[in-house]
Amino acid sequence: MYVKFNPTALIPLGLLVTSAFSSPTFPQQQPLGPNDDLSAALRIHSKKPSVDAESLAATIETKNLLKRAYALYNIAKISELEFGHPTRVIGSKGHVATVEYVKRILSSLGGYYNVSEQVFPAVSGYIYESHLVIGHQVVDHRAMSLTPPTKNKDTVFAGVVAAKNDGCLESDFGEDAKGAIVLIERGSCPFGQKSENAGKAGAVAAVVYNNEPGSLSGTLGTPLEHHVATFGISREDALPILEKLKAGEEIDGSAYINSEVNVIKTKNVIAQTVLGDPDNCVMLGGHSDSVEEGPGVNDDGSGSMTLLEVAVQLTKFSVNNCVRFAWWSGEEEGLLGSTWYALHLTAEENQKIRLFMDYDMLASVNFAYQIYNATDAEGDPKGSEELRNFYIEGYKGLGVNYTFIPFDGRSDYVGFIEAGIPAGGVATGAEGIKTPEEVEMFGGKAGEWYDPCYHQLCDDLTNLDEKAWNVNARLVAKSVGKYAESFEGFPERTPEDAEVKAARKESAKKWKYRGNKLIM
């Protein structure tokens, strides 16, 4: 089936859509190869014992998980020639090989799964060099991710002015912004919106300063037509400049960003059991890509390889409900693959997904067992809280402690929540800092990151906690086994009314992150 991409469709923040994407058609969910053997596969697999949570969990072995991590690390090394180090970032050979590896394993399982792929456009950006001078001061800064370069990739010299208010409205930029470098305070709306408004007013560069102590590093997200070269700087550096401007002093500056923003094609892999009620699916996902900086063995090799291992083990059983696995691409660029998928579901397909479970980072070395705190009280789609409660019981059954973490935009469940599909998940922690109380609950080191190699080169084979991985892989297996067996007691899907949708959209506007990216 081919679906022409419709640029006027709902466009959430961070999804990559500009007019540049409207021309080519992107194959939607393309089946891989013929499925003539479908009835034979059905006949064979339906004779297998019926799955349940405990039986599937019992198939998990740490050595199988490690074998997959090892394969993945070697795959990441394919990128060394181009990047100088192992990586599975989108657009790299390592990422292409990751996707091929997943597809190859799934296609070798006797027709147990219908394996398909979904190609979509993704924006990737590189910042080569940047420089910012205000007055006679070189200013410490971070160029925002996905920023366009300054004009002609050259230094621009201009007067410095301050935007009115927080730059979220076009009217916050006066005549004086034309041809100027504009200082804008962080807050109220995404960086991308501020940059767009500055660009519309004719500014040659935008400098967003923090509204809390410390430096500022974020992303402009979805490229927009009027985005200008945009920097992030600290509040401490901005205040003296603002004071001088207020006193009527004229300040000159120069700005330079050499960057590139490219649109590439990348793909999600989807595998659905041929057995099981196709109108009632349990869906789960992990991401196949890593950041550019490293091989991503924990992020999200641990999640994506758990899914693959569970998918392999599931073939020992028959299922009552359909099980759909997803390996998302472009998570690290702002949850692109999962958002694309959820956004392009027809209303009918949407209703067939009873729940979505996100598995991103399951084996952090300084781990905590974290459950996303999805609740009815927060307006999360009905069923999300029941899933959260399942994880609580699951961890109790595995004899370990757990904590709750905010369900606020940092991984691939976002698109599903936006589409009204119940969602949740577990993780072992990224760049958060472990507390002394958590050391009592889980062991490890207080005051350090849960994953000390988060988004770094050292996210390699040494960056896995085998025990945590085993516990979480068994939990994932339980979650698949349970819902593949039955949805008894789990809320039915019903189309949500517009009011509920609007309220959720409004509350999502407060989220400062999309994936790992600070957006406002």
Give, as one character, the DSSP assignment of residue 397: H
DSSP three-state, residue 201: coil
Backbone angles phi, psi at 244, to 5 degrees: -65, -40
Q: Which does 35 bind (CB under 5 to 8 A by kind): ligand NAG, Zn ion, none?
A: ligand NAG
Q: Applying CB under 6 A, which of residues 116, 268, 384, 516 lies at the interface with ligand NAG?
A: 116
- CA gap 45, 464 in Å, rounded: 34
CB of 332 to ligand NAG, least distance (A): 25
Site for Zn ion in 267-306 (CB under 5 A): 299-300
CB of 426 to ligand NAG, least distance (A): 14
- CA gap 405, 396 in Å, rounded: 17
Point out the catalytic residue in the list 196, 293, 309, 331.
Answer: 331
Q: In residues, how long is the chain? A: 520
Give, as one character, the DSSP assignment of residue 410: S
Site mask for Zn ion (CB under 5 A), range 301-330, x = bound: ------------------------------
Q: Which is nearer to ligand NAG, 1 or 81 (CB)?
A: 1
Select the span of 45-53, 223-231, 357-365, 464-472 touching Zn ion (CB under 5 A). 357-365
Asked if 485 is an active-site residue, the reply is no
Is residue 8 classed exposed, middle or buried when 0-12, 13-18 and 19+ CB atoms within 10 A define those classes? exposed
Backbone angles phi, psi at 20, to 5 degrees: -60, -20
Q: Which is nearer to ligand NAG, 145 or 373 (CB)?
A: 373
Q: Which does 404 bind (CB under 5 to 8 A by kind): Zn ion, ligand NAG, none?
A: ligand NAG
Q: Which is nearer to ligand NAG, 256 or 372 (CB)?
A: 372
Q: What is the CA radius of gyration of the chain?
A: 24
Q: Residues 329, 266: contact at Cβ < 8 Å?
A: yes
Q: Which does 300 bind (CB under 5 to 8 A by kind): ligand NAG, Zn ion, none?
A: Zn ion
Q: Residues 208, 229: contact at Cβ < 8 Å?
A: no
Site for ligand NAG in 482-511 (CB under 6 A): none
Q: Which does 31 bind (CB under 5 to 8 A by kind): Zn ion, ligand NAG, none?
A: ligand NAG
Site for ligand NAG in 382-401 (CB under 6 A): 399-401
Q: Which does 158 bind (CB under 5 to 8 A by kind): ligand NAG, Zn ion, none?
A: none
Please tell me whether residue 114 binds ligand NAG under the rule CB under 6 A: yes
Count of residues engaged in binding Zn ion, rule: CB under 5 A: 3
Is residue 465 classed exposed, middle or buried when 0-12, 13-18 and 19+ CB atoms within 10 A define those classes? buried
Q: Which residues, including other chains, have CB under 8 Å from residue 470's CB and lie 6 or more apart? A: 60, 62, 65
Q: Which does 498 bind (CB under 5 to 8 A by kind): Zn ion, ligand NAG, none?
A: none
CB of 307 to Zn ion, least distance (A): 13
Q: Which is nearer to ligand NAG, 52 or 378 (CB)?
A: 378
DSSP three-state, residue 110: coil
* Helix then strand then coil, % of the chain, to nearest 5: 35, 25, 40
Alpha-carbon distances of 332 from 3, 124, 293, 407, rounded to whole Å: 25, 10, 11, 18
- CA gap 349, 344 in Å, rounded: 9
Alpha-carbon distances of 160 from 186, 238, 372, rounded to whole Å: 17, 12, 44
Q: Applying CB under 6 A, which of residues 66, 169, 245, 441 lies at the interface with ligand NAG?
A: 441
Q: Which does 299 bind (CB under 5 to 8 A by kind): Zn ion, ligand NAG, none?
A: Zn ion
CB of 222 to Zn ion, least distance (A): 20
Task: Show the CA angle centred on residue 466, arms to residues 397 and 66, nearest 5°.
Answer: 120
Site mask for ligand NAG (CB under 6 A), range 5-44, x = bound: ------------------------x-x---x--x------
Q: Residues 480, 309: contact at Cβ < 8 Å?
A: no
Select the span of 135-143, 204-212, 230-238, 370-378 touching ligand NAG (CB under 6 A). 370-378
Backbone angles phi, psi at 114, to 5 degrees: -90, 110
Q: Where does this chain bind Zn ion (CB under 5 A)?
A: 299-300, 360
Q: Which residues are at the interface with ligand NAG (CB under 6 A)?
A: 1, 29, 31, 35, 38, 114, 116, 373, 375, 377-378, 399-401, 404, 440-441
Which positions are annotated as active-site residues? 331
